[in-house]
Amino acid sequence: MTSGLASVTDADGRAWPVRPAADAALTLGDDERECLREVALDLATRHADRPTGLHLDDGDLMVDIKLRMLRGGPERLVQALTEFRYRSNADGALLIRNLPIDDPLPLTPHGGNFDDDWQGLRVSSMVQLAVMNILGDIISYADEKAGRIIQDVVPMPGAEKRQENSGSCFLELHTEDGFHPQRPRFISLLGLRPDQERTALTLASGIGRSLAALDGGTRTVLSRPLFHIRLASSFVGDREDLYAGPVPVLSGSPTDPDLCVDFHAMVSEDPEGRRALASLQRALLTHLVGHVLESGDLLIVDNDKAVHGRTGFTAQYDGHDRWLRRTFAVPDLRRSTADRLPRSHVHRPIFRTDPDGLVTAGHPLRGPSVPE
């Protein structure tokens, strides 16, 4: 990122401008924020006996949150979420500002996860779950961050250069968990604390803005199953050679397609496939929106319509580092009934480790494979 007008610089030194996501944000009025705080505090009180160790994983809690939000939540917010759920938008991203969060905030956890009593984050936890319950059904993955329903996104010492949310270098544009049979439809990233220099721009780019820049031949190539996605290290650790696929990048409606791509982890053995991927990357970089997530800012990404990423920043590891919290939602939790315990929203592991340490897919991964 450079100073002045925000931009992202690619590996060839070319700068790509970033439009402010805040220009199209839904900013709650202070009365709406306080109304939502009341909803959150009421929920937190009613569920105060829920232990932290369960990561708030319970279907009855989700039902209660949804009902309370529908009955008492700010109508403008519920409406905007419902419209985004049905129609998405050209950027595939919705920024909501001035949400209530906890005051005082605990220190940013240095170990990667907030494992203190969840009541220390009762307002932000209930608000984030309330928002996501309007967009769909909350889901998390046992393979990642131990299946926590709400995951912490914090920089970790030693992970600076990793293409993971624990890193602090530029995080390449990606579809979240594109290799997973039940990948999220919506991702929410709630800002609790921005990075101290305010350089960490969370980025999104929607296929709705880029499609016109792709010629017919490129669209056809991107619609063929010519691509493999390397499994995320947050799921399989240091194994670098496990891929899902082959998958297409574009699917569904030719005029309003879904997008599944990852500019760090996706490969194609086909030269046409590689060319098409490069064209798509340029088109998506041309239409970036971005925002430094401040306390109470929530970015929702439509994971079928947009990629997301983040510019680099400097972590201090002093308890005041950048801290986001992330949740996922799918359109229909029942698609994964066989992969969850009753009432649980945690998808069982799709990988297993053999006694000799080999990681294998314990679930159909849209054709797991290791490309030559």
Ligand X SMILES: O=C(O)CCC(=O)C(=O)O
Give the residues lining the site for Fe ion (CB under 5 A).
176
Please name the residues in contact with 22: beta carbons below 8 A apart, sequence gap of 6 or more. 95, 97, 291
CB atoms within 10 A of CB 356: 5
193, 287, 305, 326: which one binds ligand X (CB under 6 A): 326
What gap in Å lies between CA 68 and CA 71, rounded to an integer? 5
Is the Cβ of residue 167 or residue 194 nearer to Fe ion in the bound state?
167
Interaction residues for ligand X, span 227-266 (CB under 6 A): none
Is the Cβ of residue 35 or residue 203 nearer to ligand X in the bound state?
203
171, 192, 231, 315: which one binds ligand X (CB under 6 A): 171
Of Fe ion, ligand X, none, which one does residue 139 interact with (CB within 5 to 8 Å by kind)?
none
Q: How far is the CB of 151 from ligand X (least distance, A)?
A: 7
Of ligand X, Fe ion, none, which one does residue 28 interact with (CB within 5 to 8 Å by kind)?
none
Return the exposure string of 61-84: e unless at least 16 CB atoms fall within 10 Å of the residue's CB, then b: bbebbbebbeeebbeebeebbeeb
Q: What is the 3-state secondary structure (H, E, C) of 90-130?
A: CCCEEEEECCCCCCCCCCCCCCCCCCCCHHHHHHHHHHHHH
300 lines the binding site for ligand X (CB under 6 A)? no
Interaction residues for ligand X, span 340-369 (CB under 6 A): none
Q: How far is the CB of 32 from Fe ion (least distance, A)?
A: 28
Q: How far is the CB of 187 from Fe ion (least distance, A)?
A: 7
CA neighbor of 240 nearest in space, from 248, 227, 249, 231: 231
**Residues 39 and 126: beta-carbon distance below 8 Å:** yes
CA neighbor of 372 nearest in space, from 228, 163, 225: 228
101, 135, 153, 261: which one binds ligand X (CB under 6 A): 153
148 lines the binding site for ligand X (CB under 6 A)? no
Is the Cβ of residue 26 or residue 298 nearer to ligand X in the bound state?
298
156 lines the binding site for ligand X (CB under 6 A)? no
Please name the residues in contact with 14: beta carbons below 8 A apart, sequence gap of 6 or more. none
Is the Cβ of residue 126 or residue 324 nearer to ligand X in the bound state?
324
189 lines the binding site for ligand X (CB under 6 A)? yes
Following DSSP, what letter does each residue of 308-352 receive, concatenated?
EEE-------SS-S-EEEEEEEES-GGGGGGGS-TT--EEPPSEE
Interaction residues for ligand X, span 190-219 (CB under 6 A): 202
Please name the residues in contact with 253: beta carbons below 8 A apart, sequence gap of 6 or more. none
176 lines the binding site for ligand X (CB under 6 A)? yes
Please name the residues in contact with 10: beta carbons below 8 A apart, sequence gap of 6 or more. 16, 285
188 lines the binding site for ligand X (CB under 6 A)? no
165 lines the binding site for ligand X (CB under 6 A)? yes
Of Fe ion, ligand X, none, which one does residue 326 interact with (CB within 5 to 8 Å by kind)?
ligand X
**Residues 191 and 128: beta-carbon distance below 8 Å:** no
Q: How far is the CB of 261 from Fe ion (least distance, A)?
A: 12
122, 308, 340, 366: which one binds ligand X (CB under 6 A): 308
Is the Cβ of residue 218 or residue 327 nearer to ligand X in the bound state?
327
Degrees (nearest 5) of the Cα angle 13, 16, 19? Answer: 155
Q: Which residues bind ligand X (CB under 6 A)?
A: 153, 165, 171, 176, 189, 202, 308, 310, 324, 326
